[in-house]
Amino acid sequence: MIFQRRSDFFYAALRTVSVLLLRLVCATSPVFAEEPSTLTSVRSLLDDSRPQSQIVLRGTVTYNNRQLIVQDQTGAIAVDIPANTNLNLGDEVEVHGQLEKRAGIPIIRNATVQDLWAGSTPLPLAMTADEAAEGAYNGMLVSTEGRLIKITSEAGPRLRLTMESGSQLFTCVLDGDPVPDASTPDVGATVRCTGVLALEQGADALNTGTFLILMRNRHDVRILAAAPWWTPRHLIFLFLLLLVLVWIGYRMHLRNIRARMSMILDERSRIAREIHDTLAQGFAGIALQLQGLERTMEKRSASTDAHLAMALQMVRRSRAEAHRSIATLRTLHSYQNLAAMTERLLKQLTQPAHLSLIVEQHGVARPFSDEVTTQVLRISQEAVANIIEHARAATVTVSFDYQSTNFALTIADDGMGFDLEHAKSLADGHFGIAGMRERATQIGAEFFIESSAQGTRLSLLLPLRPMHSLRDRLRMRGRHSTHVASQE
């Protein structure tokens, strides 16, 4: 306890002696003989009518780039000194010179500066941009933060960071101490700047904002939050990348459709060849054998003739069906619209029979599934085949009517008509009307027949769903592309 009291007494005495010696030095110097003023008292001199006032001021160096800023506990002031003056941040100095009023921070001209001792810089005043813009802390060492909106590098070197915080726009300036590229914040980052506050007026405020923050070194720039990834530039890049991915996905899906359709076409061609080489040729052989049997039979009865006639009729009918199936498969290979495919298919029947064929289309053609297309073609074939065989008609008209909610197929002839009640059915060996009705039922369509002495009218009514899905459009595009590729 005794030693501690002696130590305290010793340090107190030493501090007192140091102060007395400092005052003695200042008193013996003609330059610093005056009592130092505070910056509070300096502000009253700025309102004086005299253009210049001699003052003595003591404070701490807070800025030493291109000009000197000295601050005490009451305020700050700029000092005009020669460029070769060697002063460090935190030095305690005493300044003697002429006070001059100017826009921004007041300045001491023709100054003489004595470096009293090395010290530490005062802690910056943390404040918002709105508080800094009020002007009460002009020239003081402050710290504020905002969002970086622009970076400008100038000769010198000089780095300018344009910031915004709320409704305030301000600029942080760093001279002579370039920030490494790795430490430079990105636009959009939240940054805290520490430096001397300098209010801007007039035209300068339009370019730099309400005030400047004069930073001392690269360490006065601190990144609080990195720039968000969702910048407008990144969003545009992401949107373009998404478009590219969608386009690639579309092309891949289209390629898959083409591959599947090509496989279907190859399978249809194979089936057509198989039918032609096996079933059709087999039916032809059976027909020839039955005809030979009919000519060479010695003992014949009415029952035998009836059975032979029925067998020959069924073979001819089956052979005709096989040829129609082959024609249908080969017609589907072309992928024209339904009316064009039907006309191409029916001409193979009407031209040898010298029957005039008229094909009409009303409305915009719609895409159908392969099942629907096949059944419509087969119904048209069967109807025209019946007209050629039984109606004794001169003209047949096939009409395709596309409406918003349904599709109608109408086949009309100018023949002699027939009695619907006594029409031959499946049990009699004729597959005509019953087969067409079954095909219509398979695709969910309604089937109607009207017949009179002036001719016969067959109607097929198929309900349609709206074609809004991308799948429908891709299917049509895939069909068209496959058709073009097959033609090439």
Q: What is the pLDDT of residue 406?
A: 92
Element (H, E) at 242: helix 232-274
Is-above-0.85 flag for pTM? Answer: no
Phi, psi of 32 (to 5 degrees): -110, 30
Q: Are 192 and 222 in contact (CB under 8 A)?
A: yes
Considering only CA atoms, which of 142, 138, 144, 143 is closest in space to residue 77? 138
- Alpha-carbon distances of 453 from 73, 121, 382, 457, rounded to whole Å: 120, 117, 21, 11
Tell me how far apart the alpha carbons of residues 456 and 415 are, in angstroms, rounded to a whole number. Answer: 7
Q: Which distant-in-sequence residues (6+ apart) come within 8 Å of 83 by Cβ?
A: none
Tens digit of each residue's pLDDT, the chain (488 residues): 444 445 555 555 555 555 455 555 444 444 444 566 666 666 666 665 555 567 888 889 888 887 888 888 888 888 888 777 788 888 898 888 888 877 667 888 888 888 888 888 888 999 999 998 888 888 889 999 999 988 888 776 788 899 999 888 999 988 876 666 556 788 888 999 999 998 865 445 556 678 889 998 888 889 998 887 777 778 899 999 999 999 999 999 988 888 887 777 777 666 766 666 556 666 676 777 677 766 767 666 676 777 677 776 666 666 666 666 666 666 665 557 889 888 988 998 899 889 999 999 999 988 888 788 888 988 998 899 889 988 889 999 999 999 989 999 999 999 988 877 766 544 444 447 888 898 899 999 999 999 988 999 999 999 987 654 545 554 554 444 444 333 33
18, 20, 478 from 311: Cα distances, Å: 139, 143, 45
> Distance between terminal CA atoms of the chain?
110
Q: What is the 3-class SS of 87-156, one letter each residue?
A: CCCCCEEEEEEEEECCCCCCEEEEEEEEEEECCCCCCCEECCHHHHHCCCCCCCEEEEEEEEEEEEEECC
Q: Is the peptide bond before 367 cis (omega within 30 degrees of 0)?
A: no
- Residue-level pLDDT at 126: 93
Buried b (16+ CB within 10 A) or exposed e, 277-290: eebbeebeebbeeb
Check if the beta carbon of residue 462 is closer than 8 Å to that of residue 445: yes
- Per the CB < 8 A criterion, the answer to whether 410 and 398 are in contact is yes
Tokens describing residue 321: 């069906």
Running DSSP on this structure, what letter comes out for residue 394?
S
How distant is the alpha carbon of residue 125 from its chain centre?
Answer: 45
Residue 9 CA to residue 260 CA, distance in Å, equals 102
Give the pair of three-digit tokens for residue 161. Answer: 């960071």
CA-nearest of 46, 85, 44 to 65 is 85
State the burial class of residue 409 (Cβ atoms within 10 Å of its Cβ: 0-12, 13-18, 19+). buried
Q: Which two tokens stand for residue 437?
A: 């009705």
| pLDDT attached to residue 429 | 41
Question: What is the bridge-based pairing of β-strands 446-452 and 395-402?
Answer: unpaired
How many CB atoms sit inside 10 A of residue 456's CB? Answer: 24
Residue 219 phi, psi dihedral angles, 5° rounding: -75, -10
